[in-house]
Structure 1
């Protein structure tokens, strides 16, 4: 086993449902862990299909096309491919899964991974070091999520022998194991193919029965390396809206649901057991800084920053149950300190900036792209009122689905402003910050690119200890406050709720759930 530098969050550790631990702040609020009252389930029972209402339907089971996070298909991918290592958020430790061990060299430039013996893909071929190298090269060549941070940081990936993979880094990176718990750690079989010929062949506990527009059906593997799963299968279903998910869970129509709307997370944690995980930057206003857009003028970006009041948004949109704030890392995060100061709500300063920019010919009409769900609509209308109060004009363009929103912001860059979430886990915030802010990242949808930001990201990655990293994050916060590449609005929680008769679900990085030991009490 190999560990992080410290616990994810300081505070006490208590026992949660099914023997899981939780980490809490000094006021008792849980920050991460399995929570809720649930009786001892006794001995595991075999059989049954577990029905899970995901945050959004997965459209592809190719890891290069699907972000390996709890909100975007990571749980589905992990069921098919497993992961090289699992992250335990409560202990802040990376535990071997497909890997038997992972060790860092004294100089921090080499990580050596040993594989377990006898693991095979579902097509019967061996999962050996050559397969890991081939899957990694495929992932990077096809530009899978976070491929750029990997290729910028890793000089080489080599099979030293059939069971040993050596990762040589360009610079020390203490959080490198996080990459192997996400997409790069989901190993695709050599025979899987590419493009239209792709077949999801992995070493996970389940295989694909069918994939439709709104459902995914998986079947248990009897020859899974960790032993045959207790469940007969998994069924991932699409349910629009978080209240219908909670109702379906209460009625027994599903066994699990992924929730992130603060008001419904608050409701569900009072009603069901499940896994709670707090994140930084779950709410932010994204601004398009590309040439030809109003946000290319820094005065417009800063006007938006000063015009928005996170506290008022929390009251109007979430009934006061959210965690508003203008710092990237809130007080509960181990990366927060007093030096991280966000901008203050100041509509007068916003009006002055709008007037100044407008006098110089800057555009002040913004297209706000939003999904049509209940909370997003409230958010858009609240932001519209605040922005128009300082002299900006806002046109809201509602799109049908999260997929459409992603295309507008991250593919077509056809927007001026929009509500997004980076959802930074304390374990590995650098990966998503790099993806969103690096000059070389193709996932930099805001178009904000500066040498100063690139230097700050490098400082964060290479920080030798937590104090140095915290200081680098304070510099990043200063950059956000002075130049407004995006506007932090709130941190928040994701809650994966399950019915009281579900046991053995294991969380990993970014609220991805593992089901190899899961079972349903009859």
Structure 2
């Protein structure tokens, strides 16, 4: 009788569970779900065995599954289950060897990458240096990776070694090589990952490989795939509980709304939201003015309100999770209404007018721009907020028709700031021209090992003095899972299945 009373209490508790809103970070807790049990008579009948755990994911079955050349987001989300990279960036953006056993360079210009021995693709063919080189050369020519690999002049492979030659020294090249390696350029190439695409009577699924070289335990042997060719299909299928997981940008432009009972697992990205300043004309030409503006920005309020905690405040242009981030340096130009007001008064700028431009296509960014405008007015400036369409916004930046602009950039995994801040940088809309700044950017990019932290500290110290941009925050990506069905997730940028062996399904 006590057993039956316990079951009834447990059932009542489960019915009281409500839908869960988004959580702050990837440490979201999961409640283990149990199968319901009905009891009649004396209660001595054996309980039925629980149904095996299952997982269904979305895919566009008619689109390419190629991890580099494909364009469908659902299929690209599945890529880490089928394909593996030479290196994987962990939660602190450090490159962890996967298919590669080591990487070495004496000058940062020529890198030799040694592959692990004995790895095969799912069709039994071996992973060789030439195959890996072909895959990386395909990435160089692809829309997704051509900018990331813009400094590569050649890639070749022989035996189990891949040689990468650069035109600009990079002391952290492995951070750029979290690129999935596929065996060919077809729509369904084989990979070295833990699962393979299988088809039965026209239905596609992911089946666990018996000869996967890592040999780690997998949470499920077969993952069913359900068709979702449009974003509306993805939303409706997840909201109905038919799909167990989706990878989304909750603060993205035209982000779809999800409903139902779900958990949110946030992960760090390299998408930096920043305030750009016109260093060549107008009020922001002087570094002292730019420093005063930086101290007026309350990043925490922007993260908490405008980005609903799906971002992380940052006082430096590197993610706070990175070991390169120094909290003391980040606080140098931290929020201080009093210091900002005093500096503007000393500079006799109280009441002066500035123009802040923002792209209207993203609701979160417009909201953040409005908050920044209010913060600047609170310290004594008069702000004209110019809300522009995307094309007009890009034209204004190119023409320098602004004092301030709210920008967003996706940095590479090595946090190369040259495109944003160097004198010749393609994204240097503020037109900051500084020889010492260029030298420090180059020194940081080429530094290896222990010298990299020192080079980063030197660069960030100078950026605090000059304030050519004001870092605001790094956006988070989000994985949504059905409530209580999955636990143990630790997603990272580009791989929501990171450390899949720790997952538990119920």
TM-score (norm 1): 0.61
CA contact (8 A) 1:50 1:254 kept: yes
Name the residue aligned to 1:453: 437
Equivalences for residues 134-153 of structure 1 within 5 A: 134-141=134-141, 144-145=144-145, 147=147, 150=149, 152=151
Deviation at 1:116, TM superposition (A): 5.8
Structure 1 residue 233 and structure 2 residue 225: aligned? yes
**1:433 maps onto 2:417 in alignment:** yes
Label 1:447 to 1:190 Cα distance change in 2 as closer, same or farther (>3 A): farther
2:186 is the alignment partner of 1:186: no
Quote the offset at 1:249 in angstroms: 6.2
Partner of 2:460: 477
Task: Compute the displacement of 1:231 (Å).
Answer: 0.7
Separation in 2, partners of 1:415, 1:229:
57
State whether residues 443 and 455 of structure 2, in contact with CA within 8 Å, keep that contact through their aligned partners in structure 1: yes
Q: Deviations over 1:41-76 (max 9, x none)?
A: 999958653249xxxxx9997747979xxx999635
Relative to the length of structure 2, the TM-score reads 0.62
Give the drift of 1:176: 2.6
CA distance in 1, matches of 2:74, 2:292: 32
Match of 2:10 in 1: none
- Structure 2 gaps of 5+ residues are 1-22, 35-48, 214-219, 252-257
Matches of residues 208-223 of structure 1 in structure 2 within 5 Å? 219-220=205-206
| Equivalent position of 1:501 in the other structure | 485
Indicate the residue corresponding to 1:367 in structure 2.
357
Match of 2:275 in 1: 285
> In structure 1, what is the equivalent of residue 158 of structure 2?
160
Cα pair 2:418 2:425 within 8 Å, conserved: yes
| Shift in Å, 1:159 | 1.3
Q: Which residue of 1 aligns with 2:42?
A: none
Correspondence 1:176 to 2:173: yes
Alignment of 1:84-483 (within 5 A): 84-89=86-91, 94-96=96-98, 99=99, 101-104=101-104, 110-114=111-115, 117=118, 119-120=120-121, 128-141=128-141, 144-145=144-145, 147=147, 150=149, 152=151, 156-161=154-159, 163-167=160-164, 175-181=172-178, 185-187=179-181, 190-192=184-186, 199=187, 201=189, 203=191, 205=195, 219-220=205-206, 226=212, 230-233=222-225, 252=241, 254-258=243-247, 275-278=265-268, 282-287=272-277, 304-313=293-302, 317=306, 324=313, 326-328=315-317, 334-335=323-324, 336-340=326-330, 341-342=332-333, 344-345=336-337, 346-347=340-341, 349-350=343-344, 364-373=354-363, 375-387=364-376, 390-397=381-388, 408=394, 416=402, 417-421=404-408, 430-439=414-423, 441-442=425-426, 448=432, 450-466=434-450, 468-483=451-466
Question: 1:413, CA displacement in angstroms?
Answer: 8.2
Q: What's the offset of the Cα at 1:324?
A: 4.1
Quickly say closer, same or farther: Cα 1:446–1:258, change in 2 above 3 A: farther
Shift in Å at residue 378 of structure 1? 2.3
- For the residue of structure 2 that corresponds to 1:308, the secondary structure is coil
Per the alignment, do residues 348 and 321 of structure 1 end up closer, same or farther by CA in structure 2, a change over 3 Å counting?
A: farther
Partner Cα distance (2:372, 2:204) in 1: 41
CA distance in 2, matches of 1:488, 1:281: 11
Evaluate the alpha carbon distance shift between residue 453 and residue 219 of structure 1 in structure 2; reply closer, same or farther with a 3 A threshold: farther
CA distance in 2, matches of 1:174, 1:519: 34
CA distance in 2, matches of 1:365, 1:105: 47
Distance of aligned partners of 1:79 and 1:384 in 2 relative to their CA distance in 1, 3 Å threshold: farther
- Gaps (5+ residues) in structure 1? 1-29, 53-57, 193-198, 210-216, 263-267
Root mean square deviation, CA, Å: 5.7
Contact persistence 2:87–2:97 (CA under 8 A): yes
CA distance in 2, matches of 1:352, 1:74: 54
Distance 2:122 2:400 in 1: 41
**For 2:443 and 2:242, how far apart are their aligned partners in 1?**
49
- The DSSP-based 3-state class of the residue aligned with 1:452 is helix
Secondary structure at the counterpart of residue 111 of structure 1: strand
Q: Is the 8 A contact 1:284 1:486 kept in 2?
A: yes
Gap change, CA 1:280 and 1:110, over 3 Å in 2:
closer
**Are residues 1:83 and 2:85 paired?**
yes
Q: Secondary structure at the match of 1:178?
A: helix
Residues 318 and 230 (structure 1), Cα distance of their counterparts in 2 relative to 1, 3 Å cut = same
Greater Rg by CA: 2
Measured against aligned partners, the alpha-carbon deviations of 1:258-279 in whole angstroms (never above 9, x if no partner) come to: 46669xxxxx9xx966654456
Say if 1:236 and 1:318 are closer, same or farther in 2 by CA, change over 3 A: same
Determine helix, strand or coil for the equivalent of 1:371. coil
